[in-house]
Amino acid sequence: MKIIVSASRRTDLISFFPEWLSSVVKKESVRVYGPSRNSYVVNLSPDSVHTLVLWSKNFSNLIENRFSLRDAVKKYDNLYFHFTITGLGGSIIERGVPSPEVALSQLDFLIEIAESPEHISIRFDPIIYWREGKRIRTNLLFFEKLAPQLHKRGIKHVRFSFAQWYKKAVRRAQKHRFSFFDPSEEEKIEAAKFLVKIADQWKLCLYSCAQNFLIGVEGISRSSCIDGAFLQNLHPENEPASTNKDKTQRKECGCTESLDIGSYTQFCPHSCLYCYANPKM
C-alpha cells in the first residue's frame, strides 16, 4: 500500500524550507529526524506516495514556484492542503504570519494548484482569548469574515480547536507579557455553537481537532486531518490508503497513518505565542 506523506505538522516547510523540500522531492528520498531523535528514511517516489499533504500558514513560495517547488510536487497523483488562517497574522500572537488579507488572497492560486477546492482544508486553529485591560479579546469573530470567502470559492472543510496552553507556551506568553485567557469547556461549547451557526449559513463542514468534548455539539464532527478513506476518494485512481489510526499522534487525534518528513530542528520563525513546537522562542 502506498504511503501518505505529511509535510509537515512539525514545522512550516512551505514557508521557511522550500528549497529543502523541493530538493528532497526531486531526490525522491529523505532521512527524517523525529521528536525522539530517532531517524527514518522516507521513499518519496511517486510510485510509493499515495498523497502528499502540505501544511502551511503561507503558501506564497509554492504559488510563486520558488526553487521549482510547485513543479516538483505536481508529479504526485494526489495533493492535499491544510491552510491555517486564524485572523491573527501580523499581530503579537502570530508575528511572522501574513495578514488575513494576504492569506485570503492566496486561496484562488491554491485552488488552481490543487485543481479542486475539495483538496483544500482550512484550519481556523487555534481560537485564542486574551485580556486587554478589562476586556477579553478573541479571534473567534473573524470566522464571520472567513466563512463567506470560503463559500464563494467552494471550499467546504474547516477544522478548528481552542488553544491549549502547554507549559512552554505559558512561559513564552509570560515572557512577552501576553495575558491569555483560557475559557471553561462550557464557554468553549457555546463558542462552538456560534461557529456552527455561521458554518450552516455558508454551507461549511466543521471538524473539531483533537478536542472530543466538542463532538457532542450538533454540526461538529471529529476531525481526521489526515483521513485515509477520504484521501482514497480524492485520489484520481481511487488508490487505497491506510485507515489505521496514527499511533504517533495524540490520543484524541483522529488521523490515520502517515509519515511526516519535517523535523522540530527546522525552527519555524512564524513566532506564534501559543506554539508547542518551537523551543527557540
Q: Does residue 178 contact residue 130 with C-beta atoms inside 8 Å?
A: yes
Report, as an integer, the average pLDDT of 85-102: 97
Lowest-pLDDT range of 21-35, 89-103, 246-260, 266-280: 266-280
Q: Inform me whether the pLDDT recorded for 239 exceeds 90.
A: yes
Q: Inform me whether the pLDDT recorded for 38 exceeds 90.
A: no
Report, as an integer, the average pLDDT of 175-204: 97
pLDDT tens readout for residues 118-156? 999 999 999 999 999 999 999 999 999 999 999 999 999
* CATH number for the domain running over 3-260: 3.80.30.10
Q: Does residue 100 contact residue 156 with C-beta atoms inside 8 Å?
A: no
Q: Inform me whether the pLDDT recorded for 279 exceeds 60.
A: no
Q: Does residue 166 contact residue 118 with C-beta atoms inside 8 Å?
A: no
Domain boundaries, the chain: 3-260
pLDDT of residue 280: 57
| Grid cell 506523506 in the structure block, residue | 5
For residue 277, what is the DSSP state?
Answer: S
Q: Inform me whether the pLDDT recorded for 72 exceeds 70.
A: yes
C-alpha cell at 216: 457532542
Report, as an integer, the average pLDDT of 88-98: 97
Q: Does residue 87 contact residue 240 with C-beta atoms inside 8 Å?
A: no
- Beta-sheet strands, E only, within 34-72: 39-43, 49-56
pLDDT of residue 34: 79
Report, as an integer, the average pLDDT of 206-220: 96
Q: Read off the pLDDT band of 277 (50, 70, 90).
A: confident
